[in-house]
């Protein structure tokens, strides 16, 4: 009979393959990448109005698709 003490449930679920846990730094990098990807196609750009005043306005960009 197998001893279960050294195997965790994750190992049984994957059929014997042990998943490596990600380090904290790797997780942080991933979340940063995901946040960057989430742009919905709109970006804020400074647009000059007819009075010569700069104003933030949302513009549609191609890279967000």
Q: Could you tell me what percent of the chain has a pLDDT over 90?
A: 0
The whole-number pLDDT of residue 48 equals 76
64 pLDDT above the threshold of 60 = no
Q: State yes or no: pLDDT of 14 exceeds 60.
A: no
Backbone CA torsion sign across 47, 49, 51, 53: negative
pTM of the model: 0.23
Question: How many angstroms separate the CA atoms of 39 and 61, rounded?
Answer: 10
Average pLDDT over residues 28-47: 68
> Which pLDDT score is estimated for 21?
73
Distance between CA 63 and CA 57 in Å, rounded?
A: 17
d(CA 17, CA 21): 13
């Amino acid at each position: 009979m197998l001893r279960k003490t050294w195997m965790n449930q994750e190992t049984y679920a994957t059929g014997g393959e042990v998943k490596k846990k990600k380090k904290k730094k790797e997780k942080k990098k991933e979340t940063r990448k995901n946040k960057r990807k989430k742009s919905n196609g709109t970006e804020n750009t400074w647009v000059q109005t007819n009075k010569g005043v700069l104003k933030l306005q949302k513009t549609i960009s191609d890279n967000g698709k």
